[in-house]
Structure 1
Amino acid sequence: MHTKSRDNWVAAAFVAPFVIAYLVLFLYPTVRMIFLTFTDAPLIGTGGWVGFKNYLRLFNDKAYINAFWNTGYFVLLTVIPNTLLGLVFAMMVNRQKGYVQSLILAAFFLPYILPVSVVFRIWEWIMDYQFGIAQYALDAFYGERVAVFRNKAWAMPMIAFVTIWWTIGFNVLLFIAGLRNISQDMYDASALDGANRWKQFRFITWPLIWPVTALVLTIQLILQLKIFDQLYLLTLGGNVNNTMVLVQYIYKQAFQLNKGGYGATVAFSLFMIIVVVSVLQYQVLRAKPR
């Protein structure tokens, strides 16, 4: 009994830092944020109790609805393309051997380790209206130069492209890890039975790589629902109403307009959207492809 009690105290001592950090850094701020949604408090300070007024305001707030649809549009532009391209590139890289594979993999992963400020500067320079090297291609094929990050039709797709370029290396690494867990003997046996590469992918690779695919889809969905950094930097000075997303709207309400209560309400709505969509996606992706 003495040994068991001592083991319990040792286990509690190891667990305690995590529990304390969880309570202080996550649970308390979350509860505090939910409380703020029922007030008209500024960013710093207390406010009066307004009940569900902030929640009712969301349904009549055209800027919030616009930010909601912009976020959904960005998710459609990035989540599935980023996942599928990651799988395709991973399969291509996995066929290489030795230092060639290492070099190609490093080339894919290098953008992922860059901070968002560097990514912003790279693509701002590439797409610069006057001096950007990509503008020569646009002029040749499109007929004119385009300020892509200020243009309503071009902004979101171009930022989605930059995001995929920036983050696809992580997806490639995850898929390669999954592909390397598939035994080569399965491919050799199927080849003896006359299976071509498409049949090998359809009946071996795709079913066995599906758990990794579901993981990548879930990670990408959560990340892109929280899109802010690159979009805010690349469209700075442009027509923000055309590219305003939910996190940017939270920033505007809380930090620019000093409406802490309403900003917390928008933040909590985004939190619930992420929870609901992630759970629904998880339930859908639990079914393995046949």
Structure 2
Amino acid sequence: MNRFRRQEVTAAVVFLLPFVLTYGVLFLWPTIQLAVLSFQKAPLIGEGQWAGFRNYARLLNDKLFATAVWNTLYFVLLSVVPSTLLGLVIALGVNRLKGWTQSVILACFFLPYILPVSVVYRIWMWITDNQFGIIQYPIAAIWGENVSIFRTLPLFMPTVAFITIWWLIGFNVLLFIAGLRNISSEIYEAAALDGATRWQTFRRITWPLIWPITVLVATIQLIMQLKIFDQIYLFGQGGRTDSTLGMVELVYRSAFQKNQGGYAAAVAVVLFLVIVIVSVLQFQLARARGQR
């Protein structure tokens, strides 16, 4: 028995060792180095001086950091909940379709997800162009003139959030479809025999059983949108506007444009901790609700 046990342990070590090494080299060690760098006054590359908590104290007095935090949280509020709920609604509709119709509709929703962000940017810049964009026709009919959407601050974040939802909604729909297909049809047949309405079926059967997928989708979207950079940077015309600054863009600006590696590392550590804390809290709250 001891010999077989040693063989099992050896096999487990052999299979796990590549992952552990990769995880340690590509994630754990850079994370430790990032945390150490955040306590230094240092350039992005090169030696620095130990600064203690000065970088973190600087964050509290930095108006750009406060703006970046607010813009990031605002974007999360505009995108995470709507994309999760809309993905569920679309998945419920697509799941009712059959055959090739379902495949075509699902492909139409998933197609934008495979596009790179540069293509998404170019498509929507054409659509919203102040001179010839197709969306300017209804805007001009309502406001009486064309509107430069991405240069109008109150419209910037909601528009980018809408584009992000359009871009990523296909992935959410796909996850919800997979969850819905795991629900046995016999449960719905029994509910129909008991005279349950569609709303009762959804509230009592579909929603509780699809809840783990909902938590998964919301958590993935939360992590992705807290790290928002590409869309805001591109639609903000290269990130030249402080009013649309996000946390990742602040890291980029501090590190690569101002060569303040220590300060950029402090911002990155704060963002990392926010993602970890919010994700854990969301998971625990969701699990507590599921147990009820």
Tell me the TM-score normalised to structure 1 length: 0.96
Kindly report the root-mean-square deviation, in angstroms, between the aligned alpha carbons of the 2 structures: 1.4
Say whether residues 1:101 and 2:99 are aligned partners.
no
Q: Is the 8 A contact 1:227 1:247 kept in 2?
A: yes
Q: Which runs of 5+ in 1 are unaligned?
A: none
Tell me the TM-score normalised to structure 2 length: 0.96
Q: Give 1:281 deviation, angstroms.
A: 0.9
Q: Is the 8 A contact 2:223 2:279 kept in 1?
A: yes
Q: Give 1:6 deviation, angstroms.
A: 4.2
Q: Name 2:197's counterpart in structure 1.
A: 196
Q: Name 2:272's counterpart in structure 1.
A: 271
* CA deviation vs aligned residue, 1:66-92 (integer Å, no higher than 9, x gap): 100000000000000000000000000
C-alpha distance in 1 between matches for 2:36 and 2:238: 34
Q: Name 1:75's counterpart in structure 2.
A: 76
Q: Is the 8 A contact 1:207 1:289 kept in 2?
A: no
C-alpha distance in 2 between matches for 1:73 and 1:53: 27
C-alpha distance in 2 between matches for 1:259 and 1:265: 10
Q: Name 1:150's counterpart in structure 2.
A: 151
Q: Give 1:239 deviation, angstroms.
A: 5.8
* CA deviation vs aligned residue, 1:141-184 (integer Å, no higher than 9, x gap): 23221111111011000000000000000000010111111122
| TM-aligned CA distance change 1:164 to 1:230, over 3 Å | same
C-alpha distance in 1 between matches for 2:88 and 2:158: 21
Q: Name 2:38's counterpart in structure 1.
A: 37
Q: Is the 8 A contact 2:75 2:225 kept in 1?
A: yes
Aligned partner letter, 1:81? P
Aligned partner letter, 1:91? L
Q: Give 1:237 deviation, angstroms.
A: 5.0
Q: Give 1:289 deviation, angstroms.
A: 8.6
Q: Name 1:179's counterpart in structure 2.
A: 180
Of the structure 1 ranges 26-35 and 141-150, higher mean CA displacement relative to structure 2 is found in 141-150
Classify the secondary structure of the residue corresponding to 1:10.
Answer: helix
Classify the secondary structure of the residue corresponding to 1:149.
Answer: helix
C-alpha distance in 1 between matches for 2:190 and 2:145: 55
Of the structure 1 ranges 89-98 and 175-184, higher mean CA displacement relative to structure 2 is found in 175-184
* CA deviation vs aligned residue, 1:36-69 (integer Å, no higher than 9, x gap): 0111110110111111000111111110011000
| TM-aligned CA distance change 1:2 to 1:51, over 3 Å | same
Q: Name 2:114's counterpart in structure 1.
A: 113
Q: Is the 8 A contact 2:239 2:245 kept in 1?
A: no
Classify the secondary structure of the residue corresponding to 2:50.
Answer: coil
Classify the secondary structure of the residue corresponding to 1:46.
Answer: coil
Aligned partner letter, 1:277? V
Q: Give 1:194 deviation, angstroms.
A: 1.8
Q: Is the 8 A contact 1:210 1:289 kept in 2?
A: no
Classify the secondary structure of the residue corresponding to 2:41.
Answer: coil
Q: Is the 8 A contact 1:42 1:258 kept in 2?
A: yes
C-alpha distance in 2 between matches for 1:232 and 1:51: 31
Classify the secondary structure of the residue corresponding to 1:42.
Answer: coil
Classify the secondary structure of the residue corresponding to 2:40.
Answer: coil
* Aligned structure 1 segments of 4 or more residues deviating by more than 6 angstroms: none
* CA deviation vs aligned residue, 1:108-151 (integer Å, no higher than 9, x gap): 00000111111111111111111111111211123221111111
C-alpha distance in 2 between matches for 1:21 and 1:246: 27
Q: Name 2:58's counterpart in structure 1.
A: 57
Classify the secondary structure of the residue corresponding to 2:97.
Answer: coil
Question: What does 1:118-129 align with in structure 2 at a 5 Å threshold?
Answer: 118-129=119-130
Aligned partner letter, 1:63? L
C-alpha distance in 2 between matches for 1:241 and 1:282: 33
Q: Name 1:226's counterpart in structure 2.
A: 227
Q: Name 1:242's counterpart in structure 2.
A: 243
C-alpha distance in 2 between matches for 1:199 and 1:4: 52
Q: Is the 8 A contact 1:89 1:172 kept in 2?
A: yes
C-alpha distance in 1 between matches for 2:162 and 2:80: 11
| TM-aligned CA distance change 1:289 to 1:144, over 3 Å | farther
Q: What number of residue pairs does the alignment pair up?
A: 290
* CA deviation vs aligned residue, 1:172-206 (integer Å, no higher than 9, x gap): 00101111111222222222222111111111111
Aligned partner letter, 1:147? S
Q: Name 2:135's counterpart in structure 1.
A: 134
C-alpha distance in 1 between matches for 2:254 and 2:43: 10
Aligned partner letter, 2:268? A
Q: Name 1:161's counterpart in structure 2.
A: 162
Q: Name 1:288's counterpart in structure 2.
A: 290
